[in-house]
Chains A and B, each alone.
Chain A
Amino acid sequence: MTVLQRVRRTMRGVRWYLAELTGETEYDRYVEHHKRLHPGEPVLSRREYERQRFERSAQPGARCC
């Protein structure tokens, strides 16, 4: 594996990690989950989904000292 490929792979890994950590990929997971369990039903748009996500997180978890 060349150095360039290694760098690319690492960058991809970092990006994947941050996207998972911040919940950016939550929408994709929702779409997949929804299509599998409720096939044929309409799926929320990204904008609508993100709004609902914030409503849900209105009750934040405890943060430590």
Chain B
Amino acid sequence: MKIKSVVTWTAVAIVGAVCWGVLALARGETISAIWLLGAALGSYAIAYRFYARFICKRVLEVDDTRATPAERLNNGVDFHPTDRRVLLGHHFAAIAGAGPLVGPVLAAQMGYLPGTIWIIVGVIFAGAVQDMVTLFFSMRRNGKSLGQMARDEIGVVGGISALVGVFVIMIILLAVLALVVVNALAQSPWGTFSIAMTIPIALFMGFYLRVIRPGKVIETSVIGVVLLLLAIVAGGWVAESSWASAFTFDPETLTLFLVIYGFAASVLPVWMLLAPRDYLSTFMKIGTIALLAIGVVIAAPVLQTDAVSKFAFDETGPVFSGELFPFVFITIACGALSGFHALVSSGTTPKMIEKESQIRLIGYGGMLMESFVAVAAIIAACILDPGLYFAMNSPAGATGGAVQSASEFVNSLGFVITPEELDAAAAAVEEDTLVSRTGGAPTLAVGMSDIFAQVFGGEGMRAFWYHFAIMFEALFILTTVDAGTRVGRFMLQDTLGNVYKPLGRVSWKPGLWFTSAIVVAAWGYFLWAGVTDPLGGINQLFPLFGIANQLLAAIALTVATVILVKSGKLKWAWVTAIPLAWDAAVTLTASWQKVFSDDPKIGFFAQRAQYSEALERGEVLAPAQDLDDMSTVVTNSTVDGVLSAFFAILVILVIGNAIIVCWRAVRATEPLPTTEEPWEESKIVAPSGLWPTAEEKRELAAVGAPAGGSGVRDSDESVGSGKDGGSS
């Protein structure tokens, strides 16, 4: 057994190392995406087996004799021990979103290598560590939220900064994601029709679940998914019919629709719209990601992009400005390290975990899966012809929006694509144009349609797969917008309730409308600013979103480091302190450049100065077209600059406060008090990993539990809980 394990892991290490070797040495020739996949999967396996295990055993000292909150506080509702495989599904569905799909696509501007390296190394040493450690600390505190832990463990300043940070970051996140949807649907009757249809489909599902067949979620979801596929097919018919014009909108109109939709969705009862949409998007998400993974493996496409492009070293990249450090890390965001996951890891998941040791599978393993999605996304972007990639992702101000001018612009970057090729690429997916379809979603959809068409259905299915991919992204972005607006509203109600009592009451209608309107107006403002920004909304706002997300990660890693130090584990604090130091360096450098850089392409205030001086002289600077455009740029760059500074100050406050607490903890002769719940004996028997070991099987058999599931020891009813999965 021992030898078998040594042989296996040596083999895995060799496969991973060979793949990395090919990636490192292949220069000037195109290589297969298989090498990226091999490097990723090999590294994940090693990290999961060794590093994650080391963190669990040595650093966190997980203890399976200790009862988890799910066992101690089991109320059958939010606290209840949940099968690890089911919980992994829940957790993954909650953390996976559009971020890991969009970020890597934009980062492909710098070539496939910088993005891929960060996605893999980042997840192993930062992202997955953050998710698992936050999950662990929250689990030891009965599932407390990140904000609450920051306040308890760091102090009032840290706590309030974290709370404010979470709210503002959420607003920016919602605006940027909504912007991705707007850019994907603008002037596309096929996409707009399909997405619009999801609203009646969700309403029908809601009605069906509430009135006709209460509780039959699978059945309802199957009906919903079938209707959804029908809506995608029907979108193709609509686009070719006389109805097409009724579903063709400019970005401004779509923005208005989204804002109205967002408000309606957040004040309607959950069962009507939000819950059914959530089921649909969960099924679509898991299904499509599985398809993409299978497709990439079978099609094994060839990467067209350079390993490292020239935009990695100068600041002239058209997709986003700035050099590799720090902006590739800011742009990739969620696929490698995502602060938002800390909110999930300190929310529902810790209340449902059966055994402490399962945090490795759910926290670390779940994040590895998310990182794999990011690798698949960067592959999908890098198999496109670079000419097409830059024509699609450069802002309209640069490409001029037409095929002729776009072709000239791409040529000026040093890539070749003819206007005819641009027309042909658009025709292949039955869109009017692909020029300046920024935001990542259309690019990813073209890449995915390329892969899917090779594996399932051939050339004739290309347009279907393109719109399938658009639908899949738009669907779960809209679910995020619904849910995010609600979460933001609850936070606001909670806070404002301290000032004026009735506002805090969840059921008081005027308060509910008022707070919803504030949240929608806030993200609506940034969405509008992004849509109308002459410099390109994605180009301007995406860095802000990345900085915000990474700063939230800094807060989570700070909380974790403080808890480690306070509980007398100073010698292990590097596990979270090193990723924290790196993340703080990246984000604070990025914020610094966004605030103080002299280059108007990067620094918001330099940009403001450039445009406002020109405006005073009455000049119009390209890509602005008139004086109104000029003042729009001035306003946006001011707001964005102030926000960048604000984010940085918040995080400096949290880290500063944390350093003081750590200093006190190190100086103190006894460990400082933390808020960990006391030990209580656990009676649950359950495997730690996905597959039970031989020893775990014996323990399960001893309490009469099914081989893959879990059971209860010495209780009044010492029988297995009958959880009998498909495991063998």
Contact = CB atoms under 8 A, between A and B. Distances in A.
A14 B270 contact: no
B271 interface: yes
A61 B347 contact: yes
A22 B217 contact: yes
B726 A10 contact: yes
Interface in B192-244: 209-210, 214-218, 221
A63 B217 contact: no
Interface string B325-342: 000000001100010110
Nearest to B145: A62
A61 B344 contact: yes
A64 B486 contact: no
A17 B85 contact: yes
Interface centre among B76, B96, B279 (most CB of A within 10 A): B76
Nearest to A15: B218
Contact of A24 (B83, B95, B217, B725): B217
Interface in B90-134: 90, 94-99
Contacts of A54: 210, 269-271, 275
Interface string A27-40: 10110011000000
B637 interface: no
Interface string B171-189: 0010001000000000000
Contact of A17 (B89, B216, B484, B545): B89
A65 B214 contact: no
Contacts of A3: none
Contacts of A59: 486-487, 490, 506
Interface string A19-62: 11111100101100110000000000011011100111111111
B90 A13 contact: no
Given A17-B85, A17-B89, A47-B214, A60 B269 contact: no
B80 interface: yes
A5 to B, nearest CB: 11
A21 B89 contact: yes
Nearest to B166: A62
B86 A24 contact: no
A52 to B, nearest CB: 10
Contact of A16 (B333, B484, B724, B728): B724
B77 A56 contact: yes
Interface of A (DSSP majority class)? helix
A40 B549 CA distance: 51
Given A63-B97, A65-B338, A58 B726 contact: no
Contacts of A46: 214-215
A29 B97 CA distance: 30
A30 B486 contact: no
B726 A9 contact: yes
A17 B86 contact: yes
Given A13-B727, A21-B86, A65-B340, A51 B210 contact: yes
A8 to B, nearest CB: 11
B506 A58 contact: yes
Given A10-B726, A64-B344, A57 B214 contact: no
B480 interface: yes
B479 interface: yes
A61 B94 contact: yes
B343 A62 contact: yes
A13 B173 contact: no
B274 interface: yes
Given A22-B218, A22-B221, A29-B80, A61 B348 contact: yes
Nearest to B98: A65
Nearest to B341: A64
Contacts of B99: 64-65
Given A13-B726, A63-B480, A65-B340, A50 B80 contact: no
Nearest to B176: A65
A24 B76 contact: no
Contacts of A15: 218
Given A64-B94, A65-B480, A20 B86 contact: yes
B417 interface: no
A50 B210 contact: yes
B96 A64 contact: yes
Interface in B450-509: 479-480, 483-484, 486-487, 490, 506
A13 B338 contact: no
Given A15-B218, A16-B725, A19-B218, 9 more contacts: A16-B726, A24-B215, A51-B210, A54-B269, A57-B270, A60-B270, A63-B480, A64-B480, A65-B97
Interchain residue pairs A-B with the least CB separation, the first 10: A13-B726, A65-B99, A33-B76, A22-B217, A54-B271, A62-B343, A50-B214, A20-B86, A64-B97, A64-B340
10 contacts: A17-B85, A17-B86, A30-B77, A51-B271, A58-B270, A59-B487, A59-B490, A64-B334, A65-B97, A65-B333
